[in-house]
Chains A and B, each alone.
Chain A
C-alpha cells in the first residue's frame, strides 16, 4: 500500500536537498550543467512514452520552460488520452540532476564510482579498440549484446550482427518471455487479450491495476464497471487487482498451473468445452484430454489451497460466459520453473471455451498485410523494412544454443542469464565483452552476486543508459542516451484488431551531450569499420524509407502521432465481419455463418492450434503434452518469497526519478499477522530475509493481505550503487534473494524462492 503523508513528503524533500550536493560532484551528470529553461520543439507534441516497456501513445506540452505536462494521445482510443504516474513523470527524468549527459570513462576499479568525462570520439575509440581486439583474439562471439526489447533494440542488434556476434539477448527471459514462447508453441504467434469486451475474466495474478498497461487496464475496468464482467483472481497476495475482483482466492505460490489444469479437467470431463471449435481448429486434443483426466478439482485443492467446489463452479461460470470470456495469460513471470506448462494450461482453457477471435476473448494482431488482403484494398500502408545487403552471418553458435530445449527462445530474445555460465565457467565458451543498452541485469536478473562476478570478470563492459544504473556502475564506459522526450524514432506498428502506427517524436531540444541510441550505435559501427552496413543517414530518411517515400502519409502520422486504419475486426465475430463487409466493397466473401472463420490459420507445423506439440516433443522430450510436475520452491521451514509491480515504478529503471522516488523510495515486506506474531515481528520492525543465495533487510508491513506462508515485496528497490543516490540502500533487492535457476523450454529466470525471516 502506498501511504503518503506530509511528513513523508518532507522527509523526501530533506533527502533530496542533501543529495544535490553530492550530485554536483558526479561528473557528466545534468547537475554539472548550468540550468537552462527547456526548449520546446512544438506547442503540443504527440509521441510515445518510455517510462516502461508498454510504450503508450502520449501528448506532451512544455509548461513555463520548466515542466512537461504529459497526457495520453487521444487519437489512440483504447488508451483514452490517459497516462499513468510513471508516464506523467517523464520531465522529472528529463531534468533529474543525476541523469548522465556526457560520456563517462571508469577511472577507478570497477564499481568504485570514479568517473571521468570524455568526448564521444574518445568513447567510440574505446569501443572500437576493445571490441575489435576481442574479435581479433577470440572471435566476435566472445562479445554479448543485451538490451531491453523495444524501440531501438533493433538498431543495437543490427550492430551486433554487423560485428558478427550471435549472442544477442533481450530482457524477455527475465520478464515476459514465458507467455510468448507458450503462445508460439501452440498458436505459432503471440495473442492479444480483448479484456474490454469480456464478460468473465479469470486472472492468475496479472495485476494490471498496478503494473499498468493503459489500454488493458482501461479495458478491464470498462468490462467491470460498465459491462458487469465478473473478475476472479488467484493470487497469494491481496493486490489491487484482487481488491477489485469479485472473488479473490489466495492460491499457494507457484501452484496456479494446478488450478488451470483442473479448470480444463472440468471443461472436458463435463463436456462444457466448445467441441465444434476443437474439432475444427485443434490438434493434440486427445493426448491433452488423457493427461488432464487425473487433474480433478479435488486433486488441485490439495496442491493449491483453492476449494474443489470453487474450481468446479468457476469452470461452469467460465463455460456459461463463453466465448466472451477469457483466462488472462499474464505478463511478468516466472512463478515456478514449470512456467511453460503453466502458461500453456492457461491458453488451453481459452482454446477449450473457443474464445479465439471472439469478442472478449483472445485474438491475433491484424497488421496491414493481413487486413488489406481481407479488405481487398489498401486500407493501411504497409511498413517497408529497409534491408541491408550482405550482412555477415555469425559463424559461431549462440551460447544458449547448446541446449536444444531452448530452441524457441533463440529467436525470441534468448536465455539472457546464460551470459553468467558463459562468463564464469566458459560454458559453452568464454565470453569476454558485454555491451548493454537500456538493460539493468544487476536488478532484473536473479542471483545478484553472480551477475556482479560476471561483470567483474569481463574484459570490457560498455553500457548505454540515462543513469549510472546499478549495472552501469560496473561498466568501463557509459554511453549516455537522450531521454525519450528528446528523441525521434522509427514508425512503430501498434496494430491490434485493425492496423495502427505510431511514432516517437522529440518534445524538447536535447539537453547536454547525449544522443539517441540509434545514432550512438550507428557511430559505433562507423568506429568499428562497419559503415557499409549503415546505408541510412538519419531518422528522417529511415522513416521515409519505412513509408515507401510517401511524404504525405509520413506527415500524417507525425502530425497525429498515432494513426489507426479501418475498423476493428475479429475473424469469428459475425457483427464485426458484417461491418467490415459493409465498409469494403471488395472484401473477402464471408463463410455461410457470416464470419471469416475459414480465414483463421495458425503458423504452427500443422496449421492448427497445437494443444499438444510434436515439435516441442522433438526438441524437449517429454514436454510435448501439457502436464503437471511438482516444482519445489522452498524448504519446509522457509516462507515463500514473491514479488510484483507497483504503479509508480518500473522494474529496474525508475527508482531514481525524483518525483517517483519521492512517492515511493523503498519496499516494505508484506507479512501476515500470524506469521509476524510467531516470529516476534511488529509492524515497522526492521527484518532480514535470507535465501539460499543472499540476505536482504527491509521493514515489516504486517497485513492480512498475504498468505501466512508467504512474504511479498515490490520489485526493483534496494539498489546498491552509490551513484543512484535516491534509490541506493533503500528497501530490499529482490535479485539478491533469488537463485540463478532457469525454467525448461521457456528459458525463464525463476522469480519465487524460499526465505527465512527474522527481526534485526
Chain B
C-alpha cells in the first residue's frame, strides 16, 4: 500500500455546525436513524469564565489495524488497495461482530441494505470521481483536511508535521487515521 489516506480534524476551527453530517447523508444516501458522521459538542468543561467545549468528530477512524476487519467472518469488512477500510455489502451476513468489535462505536447496520455501514472517506462516490470527501467539501470553517499522508507535500502531511495532534484510543493499538488538533483554550492557534 503506497497510499495512506488520513483525515485531520482541527477542533479549534470546528464550530460543531453539523454541515459535515448533513453533506455526508446527502452524498451517501444515509437512511434516517443511522449516521456515518457526527460532531458532538461536549461540555462546557472548566470553571467559568474559563470554559471550553470539545468538538468531537465521531466517525470511522480508518484504523490501520482494524478490529472490525479481524473479526469479520466472511471478508465483508476488508482493507482495499488504497488502505481504506470498507464493506462488501453482498458478503455481509449481518452477524454484527464488527459492530461489537469497533472500539469507536461507529459501525451500524444500514436499515436499507441490511449490511453494516460506516464512513469510508466517500471512497465509492466522491473519491472515485477525484473529489474530496463530502464533509471536507462543505466544512464552513475549513476544519477538515484530507489527503495522502505518505505524500510529503500534501496538506495533511504538512499539517501533521507542524501542529500538535492526537488520535482517539491509541492505547488499543488500532492506529486510527483520524487525527485531531486539540482545542487551545483562550483563542484559536494560528
Contacts and interface: CB of A to CB of B under 8 A. Distances in A.
A68 B26 contact: yes
Interface stretch (A85-93, A281-289, A383-391): A85-93
B51 A88 contact: no
Contacts of B12: 225, 244
A217 B142 CA distance: 11
Contact of A238 (B23, B27, B51): B51
Given A67-B29, A225-B12, A659-B25, A704 B18 contact: no
B26 A3 contact: no
B22 A88 contact: yes
A705 B13 CA distance: 20
B167 interface: no
A238 B48 contact: yes
A153 interface: no
Contact of B19 (A63, A88, A704): A88
Contacts of A240: 15-16, 41, 53
Contacts of A67: 26-27, 29
A85 B32 contact: no
A396 interface: no
B161 interface: no
Contact of A225 (B48, B138, B139, B188): B188
A662 B32 contact: yes
B61 to A, nearest CB: 16
B35 A248 contact: no
Interface stretch (A105-113, A227-235, A614-622): A227-235
Interface stretch (A69-77, A372-380, A578-586, A750-758): A69-77
B108 interface: yes
Nearest to B140: A82
B26 A82 contact: no
A658 B105 CA distance: 24
Interface stretch (A4-12, A475-483, A569-577): A4-12
B53 A88 contact: no
Contacts of A66: 29
Contacts of B190: 224-228
The listed residue with most A CB atoms (<10 A of its CB), out of B25, B44, B140, B186, is: B140
Nearest to A242: B51
B96 interface: no
The listed residue with most B CB atoms (<10 A of its CB), out of A14, A238, A240, A243, is: A243
B187 A231 contact: yes
Contacts of A21: none
Instruction: Report, nearest first, the 4 A-B pairs whose CB atoms are least far apart.
Output: A13-B33, A647-B17, A88-B22, A85-B18
Given A249-B49, A659-B22, 18 more contacts: A9-B34, A13-B32, A14-B33, A16-B33, A63-B29, A82-B139, A84-B138, A85-B18, A87-B19, A88-B19, A88-B23, A209-B15, A217-B15, A218-B141, A240-B15, A243-B44, A647-B17, A705-B43
27 contacts: A2-B18, A3-B40, A4-B38, A13-B31, A13-B32, A66-B29, A68-B26, A69-B23, A70-B23, A71-B138, A80-B140, A82-B139, A85-B18, A209-B141, A212-B15, A217-B15, A221-B140, A240-B16, A248-B49, A647-B16, A647-B17, A647-B19, A648-B18, A659-B25, A662-B32, A705-B48, A705-B51
